[in-house]
Structure 1
């Protein structure tokens, strides 16, 4: 029998049906999750769910609809893959019709952006109750008196239906999985994957398109504020330490992953945290450990069959185990989550080559060079197919989420750094004493000590050594860190082996930077490797 798809133009009919649960409380959502067999209650009170086949993002299955109003602005390529309006409409009908046929559908209505002047109303429509709890904890919830849809800005809607699978032969996709953004229809379709992070990152991509139009810089970074009101930003890809290093008992957290920088200062785009929790312990990361309680969501974490305690050292499902919890689960936060202009910016890189210094102070040209380069390592499990760290260059430390040309974001950052006289440091949280496989990961205690010294101004006028190949100025002494750790070649058993690996990485930097043909020549000359 032919499968006939009913024609549907929007979700209004769906949202008005009796089976739609709108803005359920956390206890009600947890009840639904357990009732429907979607998850397990852990010993800490958190809900544990599994995502099945896909335990990370599917970047090759992410598309942007090729539409007249946005066509000339999108930076088309492997990140922003075009798909036709016809393909979008076909999959949209499949998703909405599927949701209409379900016994229960879950809807969250809230915001992206803590700055009321620029916040975006969002609606998340879910097939799964646990996905809706994730949305409730990760995005900004409505407060008493909030006008969610006030006519000033039309909401963006996520339609998430993991059970719906694309047919590549007719739907224009690469596989059964699809994450599709239509800016004209202000809709995001997600199907064929249970990984909750697709919802979070899709909204971030939307904000990366919308905020620059308001002269606001969107940033893939965490942020916190010190006792004196000094603000720090931590840029870096997943797994480089943004969440860990910004969760500091001596500083209040603004947010752990996504922010905007306006004329008034920094604000969080989200209302929660999505932390990696592989090898998590209370001793190393007490704030994150204690935040995982009732209402939090554990993703792909293995539990003890009897006690239901989480085994954070078990990576049998994936290295990319995650915890989603609201900001309010952390005691020392900024509420509402916004603050002044940054005093210090930290670029975090997990150097799999093991040759970059653990901390370097950057000139303006070096800061622009390393922001555009975005060097780090993709860590195991973060994306499908990544099983061990791989050296990679992710422009602006977030290229998978940037709809516009990279220079748009880089020019905005350069202007703001200059206006507010921000100090910038490059911090290597990756390997030392050898490349991945032979060296060891930088000790977290050392990284914390170096970051603390940078934030306290102890490195502003510190004596430095210059790395001859990369041209980076590294302090000769940092309290709490052995001096020989600061010079990477001293940590290697063979200086010749270090020089060989360092030159290999320097050549990769140079080769990668060739794609930025319209960047000021002084940045390429003064910012990158010198040999």
Structure 2
């Protein structure tokens, strides 16, 4: 097999006779159906399934360790190093593999809605439905922008190419390899489209801080008075659902940057979790799933082709990808001013955290660095029930730099703009997972509304006995006893036991951080 250089190999793919460049949505849908990659649903959306990889595969993600990255990346279990030689060898194999395909698909676009900071990207796909996904998730260029487009980063995705770990030095058949030097993301062995989305987010988490911009794993919206709110949280905690508020315009549902002039969306679409989706509960998301959208691992009725959003037989992590413009209540372009409110979302599987609490500056920094939540079923391979986890900055799988880099930037911005910060638990109440129940969405919406509309500014608060956060005694639309988690448990002794256990986990987790001011733990952490 002839070995090709990185640049030449990329040029071969971009200009090869099998390359379909910048196809329109209807053209891509036609290709998906023609190639039998997916099925057309009754909503007009394309449905595709992803086989055994129905979520991210974090153990298969690597970063090339070279002269650019070696002293900058926070190496460890999340950012696993590989050598340039390993990357180049696998890259050459994938390029040859795609060269011999009848067709490949190329999308050119951007990451970053603010033109001053956007990153030109190109996505090279083996599958037409993956290219449709990229078209809907990233920012689409104008015809004039396509003509002058020069990619600053490239994704090359070959899902049916499977690595041989004994030869290719990977952990499995799947691989997600990032080279900051060559500005290439190489993906293979997994059909899960979310790897492309999150890889670009990881790239932006590396690049944006160089320009003084804080990259954030959060959704964002803006009220009628121009007040901007951020919602931080891992997959499944409610970012997409809670930011899709009919009374507020959506900026974006998952990834943003915060510059000296305000916030901007990194993406051009939404990747909504749709297990249990209904028009009644989440009308904006439900109505956005139409022609051009991509449904991932959703089960269709065999005859009617109507999606069954309650069917989790393939995975709990069913998804819908659609462009922001499919929604009728958005900010376009996705740029807004500085936030006035920040909400940290957590799905607490122990059921002991208050459903809403107001945080001091130190508590905000503590909980941002802690990033406590529960990994929910299906969000990662092998996760079948909620598992307690601490994900630094509510997004540690996507942070190439040390966590304190992002935390220090957030702390400065909270001070500069006098931002109010709240911790909202969308997890369990009345007991831990398996005993209690998931917090009612209607209650959570009422609490978030109270925080955003100023109802809690001068409310009466009571410190939580275990975590020290200030818990409001009354919130319109929420029973008072729900606000105090201990009152929802049948056994107070069992609640006390679980609360102490969680408080201790917070403290133990925080010992991993170096060079964090002592007052962050002393004033921001648990009080027991």
Q: How does 1:68-107 map to 2 (within 5 A)?
A: 68-107=67-106
Alignment check: 8 A CA contact 1:302 1:311 kept:
yes
Secondary structure at the aligned position of 2:481 is classed as: helix
Q: Give the Cα separation in 1 of the matches to 2:194 and 2:63.
A: 18
* Post-superposition CA distance 1:279-321 (Å, at most 9, x none): 0000000000000000000000000000000000000000000
* Post-superposition CA distance 1:28-77 (Å, at most 9, x none): 00000000000000000000000001000000000000011121010000
Q: Give the Cα separation in 2 of the matches to 1:467 and 1:13.
A: 61
Q: Give the Cα separation in 2 of the matches to 1:523 and 1:176.
A: 42
Tell me which residue corresponds to 2:161: 164
> Out of 505, 511, 528, which is 2:508 matched to?
511
Secondary structure at the aligned position of 1:489 is classed as: helix
**Is 1:280 matched up with 2:269?**
no
Alignment check: 8 A CA contact 1:5 1:94 kept:
no
Q: Give the Cα separation in 2 of the matches to 1:106 and 1:506.
A: 50
Q: Give the Cα separation in 2 of the matches to 1:302 and 1:68.
A: 47
How much does 1:517 deviate?
Answer: 2.5
Runs of 4+ in 1 over 3 A off after TM superposition: 147-151
How much does 1:6 deviate?
Answer: 3.7
Tell me which residue corresponds to 1:335: 332
Quickly say closer, same or farther: Cα 1:14–1:21, change in 2 above 3 A. Answer: same
**Is 1:407 matched up with 2:409?**
no
> Out of 352, 366, 371, which is 1:369 matched to?
366
Tell me which residue corresponds to 2:35: 36
* Post-superposition CA distance 1:380-402 (Å, at most 9, x none): 00000100000000000000000
* Post-superposition CA distance 1:109-139 (Å, at most 9, x none): 0000001001000000000000000000000
Quickly say closer, same or farther: Cα 1:5–1:386, change in 2 above 3 A. Answer: farther
How much does 1:145 deviate?
Answer: 3.1
> Out of 474, 477, 487, which is 2:474 matched to?
477
How much does 1:9 deviate?
Answer: 2.9
Q: Give the Cα separation in 2 of the matches to 1:282 and 1:121.
A: 35
Tell me which residue corresponds to 1:260: 257
Q: Give the Cα separation in 1 of the matches to 2:147 and 2:484.
A: 53
Alignment check: 8 A CA contact 1:168 1:175 kept:
yes
Q: Give the Cα separation in 2 of the matches to 1:249 and 1:150.
A: 35
> Out of 245, 248, 251, which is 1:248 matched to?
245
**Is 1:63 matched up with 2:62?**
yes
Q: Give the Cα separation in 2 of the matches to 1:144 and 1:7.
A: 31
Tell me which residue corresponds to 1:297: 294
Q: Give the Cα separation in 1 of the matches to 2:94 and 2:114.
A: 32
Q: Give the Cα separation in 2 of the matches to 1:330 and 1:144.
A: 23
Alignment check: 8 A CA contact 2:340 2:418 kept:
yes
Q: Give the Cα separation in 2 of the matches to 1:439 and 1:9.
A: 54
Q: Give the Cα separation in 2 of the matches to 1:50 and 1:520.
A: 47
Alignment check: 8 A CA contact 2:217 2:232 kept:
yes
> Out of 368, 372, 381, which is 2:378 matched to?
381
Q: How does 1:225-244 map to 2 (within 5 A)?
A: 225-244=222-241
**Is 1:354 matched up with 2:351?**
yes
Tell me which residue corresponds to 2:209: 212
**Is 1:436 matched up with 2:433?**
yes
Q: Give the Cα separation in 2 of the matches to 1:137 and 1:183.
A: 25
How much does 1:5 deviate?
Answer: 5.1
How much does 1:472 deviate?
Answer: 1.1
**Is 1:180 matched up with 2:181?**
no
Tell me which residue corresponds to 1:318: 315
How much does 1:14 deviate?
Answer: 1.9
How much does 1:253 deviate?
Answer: 0.2
After TM superposition, the score normalised by the length of structure 2 is 0.99
Larger displacement relative to structure 2 (163-172 or 298-307): 163-172
Secondary structure at the aligned position of 2:54 is classed as: coil
Q: Give the Cα separation in 1 of the matches to 2:407 and 2:279.
A: 37
Superposed CA RMSD in Å reads 0.9
Q: Give the Cα separation in 2 of the matches to 1:408 and 1:13.
A: 38
Secondary structure at the aligned position of 1:356 is classed as: coil
Q: How does 1:485-504 map to 2 (within 5 A)?
A: 485-504=482-501
Secondary structure at the aligned position of 1:307 is classed as: coil
Unmatched segments (≥5 aa) in structure 1: none
Alignment check: 8 A CA contact 1:110 1:148 kept:
no
How much does 1:146 deviate?
Answer: 2.4
Quickly say closer, same or farther: Cα 1:5–1:174, change in 2 above 3 A. Answer: farther
Secondary structure at the aligned position of 1:357 is classed as: coil
